[in-house]
Structure 1
Amino acid sequence: MHHSRLCTLVLDCKVDDLAESTAFWSRALGKPVGNPDSDGDGRYAELETAEDEPIILLQRVEHESRVHLDIETDDVQAEAERLEALGAKKIAFRHGRWWVMEAPSGHRFCVVRRQREAFGPHLNRWD
């Protein structure tokens, strides 16, 4: 048995400097900037969201700009296998911590370890 839920909306931004994109999305979504430089090298920024809302993360990328979802889980391998059985493809296992997956529709998404202390509401239980 394991658990999972929608965790993060990731705004992939093909930009040199993430600050302008962070300011735009903060104003557009009415969410203050929580951390303008989550990893200390300008690659990630996070907007403030309530505990029962998905995290909104901006990520500086090399590929074209797009939006992808993260699904958090207490068992990354089991969740990736469950999704693969539904028709998704495993694309890459990154840093030994998360799977980049592709839905049958071609949309990319990630299966990540739990991101917040408590799973909170909207938790799925898989046997």
Structure 2
Amino acid sequence: MHHSRLCSIQIDCNTSDVDEAATFWAGALGFPVDLDHAGSRGNYRQLATPAAEPMVQIQRVDHDSRAHLDIETDDIAAEVARLEKLGATVHKRLERWTVMQAPTGQRFCVVRVQRPFFSQHANRWD
């Protein structure tokens, strides 16, 4: 048995200025940039979203701009296997997360637990 849930929306920005991108998305979505959050470092800026809502993170990337979802789980291997049974494929395994691709082509990440109250709000998979 393991658990998982939607964790975050990652807004990938092909830009030289991640702060400018974060300022735009903060204004567009109505959530301020949270520079004190551990997720605001280097190429990343975290927006201050309510605890019960998915996180929104702006990240500077070298590929085309796009958005992708992160699914958080207490067992990455089990969640990857579950998603493969649904038709997803592994695109890349990294040290702390796995990049997957949906049957329709969208890429998304499976990550370790990131947010508080995970077990109260996560789906249970037997």
- Aligning the two structures, in what range does the TM-score lie when normalised by the shorter sequence? over 0.9
- Give me the identity figure in percent: 54
1:23 corresponding residue in structure 2: 23
Write out the 4+ residue segments of structure 1 that deviate beyond 3 Å after TM superposition: none
- Give the TM-score, by structure 1 length: 0.93
1:107 corresponding residue in structure 2: 106
RMSD of aligned Cα (Å):
1.4
1:38 corresponding residue in structure 2: 40
Secondary structure at 1:83's aligned position in 2? helix
Task: Report Cα offsets for 1:94-113 as digits up to 9, x if no partner.
Answer: 1x210000000000000000
Task: Report Cα offsets for 1:3-50 as digits up to 9, x if no partner.
Answer: 0000000000000110111000001111011128722x2x00000001
Q: Is the 8 A contact 1:52 1:120 kept in 2?
A: no
1:77 corresponding residue in structure 2: 77
Aligned residues: 124
In the alignment, is residue 67 of structure 1 matched against residue 60 of structure 2? no
Secondary structure at 1:105's aligned position in 2? coil
Q: Is the 8 A contact 1:7 1:69 kept in 2?
A: yes
1:97 corresponding residue in structure 2: 96
Q: Distance in 1 between matches of 2:114 and 2:73?
A: 9
Q: Distance in 2 between matches of 1:120 and 1:59?
A: 27
> 1:117 Cα deviation (Å)?
3.0
Q: Distance in 2 between matches of 1:6 and 1:24?
A: 23
> 1:120 Cα deviation (Å)?
5.8
Letter matched to residue 45 of structure 1: R
- Unaligned ranges ≥5, structure 2: none
